Structure 1
Amino acid sequence: MHDPILERALSQVRTERTRDHRRRGGVVAVVGTTLAAAVLAGGVHLGRQSVPATRVLVASSADGIHMTTTVTPADGWVRLRAVVDGIPPGSRCQLVVTDTRGRRYVAGGWVAPGREDTTLTGAAVVPPTDLATISVVTTDNRTLITATAP
């Protein structure tokens, strides 16, 4: 047997339960979306603050070697473009990045063609804020020139 009063009461309970779930789901979605937007905006703000701008490091040695290096920061690493001149022809060289802890990273290498300019591009997995020096070092480990990051 069907009891119409009981059926109607159960129907009313189901309707109210569904409405409550939808309301809670909407509130949770709004709160979740707001939190996600806040975290994203904070991350973008921190990212802009933590990565320094492009820098140019210049160095000259008593031997007549000159180096101008453009350091472009990236997220956790740096891009380098070095213009070097005055290195004796045939010298086998490496562009070496040293971080603030003294760890060295080879960013590129070449054989010097003569005393004219050599342009070299490279990269090193060194956070931009940890960059200490950029050097030209021969493969027999002689440092020819070093530029110090400010």
Structure 2
Amino acid sequence: MPDPILDRALGRVRAERARDRRRRGGVATAVGAVLAAAVLAGGVHLGRHSVPGDRVVVASAPRARMTATVSPADGWVRLRAVVAGVDPGERCRLVVTDVRGRRHVAGGWVASRGGGDTALAGAVLVDVDDVAAIGVVTEDGRTLVAGATR
């Protein structure tokens, strides 16, 4: 014979678990949308402050996103980037890869505990025509996000 009290208790547990799963899914979707909007806003900001000859690189990976502007100088390049989605406390580097496959570090930072966007500027001694890609690499060598300039 079924126990009505046990059935009712099990029904409540199932309902609470389903509600928690829906709530977590909604939060994850909202966080993803906010991060995507922040990177888009960063791209718009960089695009408005670009000059003719600048190259804009937009890249995304499952967890991190980057918008970067490469500005040519005389034999070297300036970089401005907005990076989002990096785990708090992660030690990162903005890296330029040239057409020969050599990596040049343009800057480094530790991702903020607040988890927001990181805006940074840097420079490397690479001619603008030799820049092949820009990426965010962790201190232990993992590439979080990268995008080609061509």
TM-score by length of 1: 0.63
Unaligned runs of 5+ in 2: 1-51
Match of 2:15 in 1: none
| 3-state SS of 1:53 partner | coil
Root-mean-square deviation (Å): 1.1
Task: After TM superposition, give the deviation of residue 89 of structure 1 in Å.
Answer: 0.2
Q: Does 1:122 find its partner at 2:115? A: no
* 4+ residue segments displaced more than 4 Å: none
Give aligned pairs, total. 98
The match for 1:81 is 80
Q: % of aligned pairs identical?
A: 61
Q: Deviation of residue 66 (structure 1)? A: 1.0
Deviations 1:75-128 (A, max 9, x none): 111000000011000000000101000111000000000431100100010000
Segments of 5+ residues of structure 1 without an aligned counterpart are 1-51
Equivalent-residue separation in structure 1 for 2:93 and 2:147 (angstroms): 14
1:94 and 1:55 mapped to 2: Cα distance?
20
Report the equivalent of 1:71: 70
- Return the alpha-carbon distance in structure 1 between the equivalents of residues 124 and 147 of structure 2: 15
The aligned residue for residue 148 of structure 2 is 148
TM-score, normalized by length of structure 2?
A: 0.63
| Aligned ranges 1:1-150 → 2 under 5 Å | 53-63=53-63, 65-113=64-112, 114-150=114-150
